[in-house]
Structure 1
Amino acid sequence: MEWFDADGYTVARAVVQRGVAAVYVVAFVAVLRQFRPLLGEHGLLPVPVFVRRVPWRSSPSLFRWRYSDGLLVAVGWAGLVVALTLVAGLPQAGPPWVPMVAFLVLWGLYLSVVNVGQVFYGFGWESLLLEAGFLVAFLGSDDVAPPVTVLALLWWLVLRLELGAGLIKWRGDPAWRDLTALYYHHETQPMPGPLSRLFHLLPRPLHRVEVAANHVAQLGVPFLLLAPGPVASVGAGVIVVTQLWLVLSGNFAWLNWLTIVLACAAVDDRAWAAVLGVVGVDVVAPGGSAGDPPLWFVAVVLAVSALCVGLSWFPLRNLLSRHQRMNASFNVWHLVNAYGAFGSITRRRTEVVVEGTRSADPGAGAQWQEYGFRGKPGDVRRLPRQFAPYHLRLDWGMWFLGLGSSTQLRWFVPFLGRLLEADRPTLRLLAHDPFDGERPRWVRARTYRYRYARPAERRVTGQRWVREDTGLLIDALDLATVARRR
């Protein structure tokens, strides 16, 4: 079936299927480690409260049937095990319905999590992972050639992802148009990495070159994915290189890694052979020569492809709109979404620092001690760690809180209450508890202006950050006060 088969993309299929499955592994590990203290029965934003308030048609989820922390753990482990089998390539060795079912299980389980995840799961890369997982379900197994329509939909996904990010920048903050955005971004991004300060300290002319190169990579290069073989492979290569640059300069959960995986869908087998042959690796198409696809598989793939083409009208219209939406899902199934990032650039970094004291009186004589978070800046001497592709949801929420987001206060006051209770699941989300599991009497939140230490300051003080106290966000609270606020 020549019009249906893309025989020259068998390596690309293997890379994309296993790569997307690997990101699902990371996502389900995060579910098992973070979901219960954030959203569980006794979480900061409990799912049972949410599902009573929001109708099913607005957020379909397995947890509409019932929610329990035990069921959540079962969902997390089921997703993790299925994803690991796909990383190992076991379902892909069978008939095409086996990987199809496996990926649809991942999509359904993670959709159930995202649709009740509220602000802690309100990120564009959640929708990206769901859309990617749904599409790769229809790439088939080693028994058949990859369907060309599904590959085209993956190319369209990467085009939307990159072009959406480029257009939202060009239409948004003028700092992107005058090429000054990176004067600030490496310092004010949500989750700096170990090299972010070095990127920030690069000469400003080089920052301008970075921004200009970003515009080319996001506004022009993605169209190469739609060109014939070698040109598309070159375009994919440029996207991979630019995404690796972003991996080095910050922590953006799995956004960059998943983009790299999806861009590989445009690299044909000849390009893989040419690139890997340089380092002495022979490329052999997985599964050998593929047979004709079963008619049921052709019918299902064409039906799904037609559905996705129809749904593409909404993100296409969004791309062309002067009022472009960033990271928008146009249906509750998170299929064929709109993407974008950093349409505006923060010029100053404000960090919320949480403190506690055992003093009976929280007044002037109290000794306040800071809680330490895993990823967000706190200790001015600490080197930020590389967490991506893992997603620290609490730390990202703290960044939005520092921007003045009122929606984050819905969970932040309960969070302070959990600290007053010395709640162990909540404390495990942190890097440092100054009270070693004991209860403080009072907690409060202060705000600080953070900036990177200049080289001379770093040599003198040993600090990576310089911070300035900008006042109280929330004054001292005890358990009785928190209870009244709930």
Structure 2
Amino acid sequence: MEWFTAPEYALSRLVLLRLLAAVYLLGFVAAARQFRALLGARGLLPIPRYLRRNGWREAPSLFQWHYSDRFFAAVAWGGAAVSAGLCAGLGDAVPLWASMLLWALLWVLYLSIVNVGQTWYAFGWESLLLEAGTLAVFLGNAAVAPPWPVLLLVRWLLFRVEFGAGLIKLRGDRCWRDLSCLKYHHETQPMPGPFSWYFHHLPMPLHRVEVAANHVAQLGLPVLLFAPQPVASVAAAAMVVTQLWLVASGNFAWLNWLTVALAFGALRLPGAPSPHGHRAPLWFEVLVLAFTALVLALSWWPARNLLSRGQLMNYSFNRLHLVNTYGAFGSINRVRFEVVVEGTAEAVPRVGTHWSEYGFRGKPGELRRRPRQFAPYHLRLDWLMWFAAISPSYARPWFPGLLDRLLAGDRATLRLLRHNPFPGEPPRHVRAVLYRYRFSTPAERRADGSWWHRERVGTYYAAVGR
């Protein structure tokens, strides 16, 4: 079937799959490094306790058969090893069927983690990685030309990511419609980056240009992905540029880089196609067509969601995360609040007690510490601390446990932090204070070198002792 193959996209597929493997690698490494404190047997939201309440139907996962911290580490580091191999070209060095099995293995391993990850994995880019991972299984390797049906599914996924985000904004906060949202967003986003301070201080007319360009990128360009070439390539390239703009302005884990990877499904790169290996075996064509039919059938729910006034954001319609709906920042915070965790060595806290502040890796804390670039790596605790500052209800299941681990000097928890003010002996008491943070003005920045200024709002969590 001549229409089935698209050899002119061979180089684009290679870039797409290498980027996707790199994102998988980051996801598995982050899981391996952070799970003991967050999800381990003695974690803040232990997987064993979750599995006692949720069976295969609610949480399909390898851990339904067996869970131990050692087994989780084996799954995470094993996934990282396979991801690194695929990123280095392993998928093209093995037969087609073996390449498909390697990509399927990554999907099974990461799905097993996400489905027991609870609040720590309740982010849209987890579902996006899994959905993109299923497409990778059927994209083939160097032995066959890229299958055209799967390239179209990649574009359909990219369309839903961008168009869904655009619609959720237009239907959401008024500031997206009056073009003023980025007056606040660079300052109040979950984890500002090293250039966010400069983005925040752009003149208001440029903020309006930013918002207008975002609407064009998310509502206009996705439609052109299905246009003939070179229109589709121009649209995809423009979307890559907008994603790199977001990379420069903040930390959004691997969302932007995964979106860039998907753009190569429409971005046709120059270069002569391989002179051999274009003909796909019949069994591969049958599997691709069956998979395409499945995705189209499952697309009914996200397509209907796009047209709904009650549009859902970042929602999976099945526990396998096969075809999902996406979107982000339908509403924008005007004020930034931060939860600051403190401890003291005094036996009985009283007025005048000296409290020492714990430092987090990514979220704002120390006023003279410039925001760091962590994306595409995902600091899960720091992200959840942003939600905790918005409303204590987000933190109720795990925040008391966090304070308990600090009182105990738990090593796994302390490894998630940047600074422990009690390196010798754990504190006698800990508490949490709520502050209002804002970026310093240029004048304040010149005067005292501060990136942030803050005002105490009140007590977030009263002092608790051992």
Shorter-chain TM-score range: over 0.9
Query: Of the candidates 371, 385, 410, which is equivalent to residue 384 of structure 1?
Result: 371
Q: Does structure 1 conserve the Cα–Cα contact (< 8 Å) formed by 2:5 and 2:278?
A: no
Root mean square deviation of aligned Cα: 0.9
| Distance 1:457-1:402 versus aligned 2 partners, 3 A rule | same
Matches within 5 A, 1:73-472: 73-268=73-268, 272-273=269-270, 283-285=271-273, 288-472=275-459
Find the residue that maps to 1:360 and give its secondary structure: coil
- The equivalent of 1:475 in structure 2 is 462
Question: CA–CA distance in 1 between the matches of 2:177 and 2:96?
Answer: 47
Find the residue that maps to 2:265 and give its secondary structure: helix
Query: What amino acid sits opposite 1:449 in the alignment?
Result: R
* Deviation per residue, 1:321-361 (Å, 9 max, x gap): 00000000000000110000000000000000000000011
Query: What amino acid sits opposite 1:236 in the alignment?
Result: A
Q: What TM-score do the two structures reach when normalised by structure 2?
A: 0.99
Q: What TM-score do the two structures reach when normalised by structure 1?
A: 0.95
Query: What amino acid sits opposite 2:451 in the alignment?
Result: R
1:91 offset after TM fit, Å?
Answer: 2.1
Question: CA–CA distance in 2 between the matches of 1:95 and 1:424?
Answer: 44
1:437 offset after TM fit, Å?
Answer: 4.5
Greater mean deviation of Cα atoms: 175-184 or 287-296: 287-296
Question: CA–CA distance in 2 between the matches of 1:288 and 1:101?
Answer: 25
Query: What amino acid sits opposite 1:175 in the alignment?
Result: C
Question: CA–CA distance in 2 between the matches of 1:240 and 1:336?
Answer: 22
Query: What amino acid sits opposite 2:445 in the alignment?
Result: R
Question: CA–CA distance in 2 between the matches of 1:216 and 1:91?
Answer: 36
Q: Does structure 2 conserve the Cα–Cα contact (< 8 Å) formed by 1:372 and 1:379?
A: yes
Structure 1 segments unaligned to the other structure (5+ residues)? 274-282, 480-486
Q: Does structure 2 conserve the Cα–Cα contact (< 8 Å) formed by 1:23 and 1:258?
A: yes
Find the residue that maps to 1:359 and give its secondary structure: coil
Query: What amino acid sits opposite 1:385 in the alignment?
Result: R
Find the residue that maps to 1:226 and give its secondary structure: coil
1:405 offset after TM fit, Å?
Answer: 4.4
1:291 offset after TM fit, Å?
Answer: 3.4
Question: CA–CA distance in 2 between the matches of 1:409 and 1:376?
Answer: 19
1:412 offset after TM fit, Å?
Answer: 0.6
Question: CA–CA distance in 2 between the matches of 1:100 and 1:168?
Answer: 35
- The equivalent of 1:30 in structure 2 is 30
Kindly report structure 1 stretches of 4+ aligned residues shifted beyond 6 Å: none
* Deviation per residue, 1:381-417 (Å, 9 max, x gap): 0011100000000000100000004132211100000
Query: What amino acid sits opposite 1:35 in the alignment?
Result: F
* Deviation per residue, 1:260-317 (Å, 9 max, x gap): 011011112xxx22xxxxxxxxx454x5432311111111111111000000000000
Q: Does structure 2 conserve the Cα–Cα contact (< 8 Å) formed by 1:187 and 1:452?
A: yes
Question: CA–CA distance in 1 between the matches of 2:325 and 2:275?
Answer: 37
Query: What amino acid sits opposite 2:17 in the alignment?
Result: Q
Matches within 5 A, 1:61-72: 61-72=61-72
1:462 offset after TM fit, Å?
Answer: 1.4
Question: CA–CA distance in 1 between the matches of 2:368 and 2:170?
Answer: 36
Q: Does structure 1 conserve the Cα–Cα contact (< 8 Å) formed by 2:169 and 2:329?
A: yes
1:470 offset after TM fit, Å?
Answer: 0.3
Question: CA–CA distance in 2 between the matches of 1:288 and 1:73?
Answer: 42
* Deviation per residue, 1:64-122 (Å, 9 max, x gap): 11210000011011101111111111222332212211111000000000000000000
Q: Does structure 1 conserve the Cα–Cα contact (< 8 Å) formed by 2:55 and 2:64?
A: no
Query: What amino acid sits opposite 1:265 in the alignment?
Result: G
Q: Does structure 2 conserve the Cα–Cα contact (< 8 Å) formed by 1:236 and 1:266?
A: yes
Find the residue that maps to 1:229 and give its secondary structure: coil
Q: Does structure 2 conserve the Cα–Cα contact (< 8 Å) formed by 1:94 and 1:142?
A: no
Query: What amino acid sits opposite 1:266 in the alignment?
Result: A
Question: CA–CA distance in 2 between the matches of 1:437 and 1:181?
Answer: 45
Query: What amino acid sits opposite 2:111 in the alignment?
Result: L
Query: What amino acid sits opposite 1:137 in the alignment?
Result: V
Question: CA–CA distance in 2 between the matches of 1:291 and 1:402?
Answer: 54
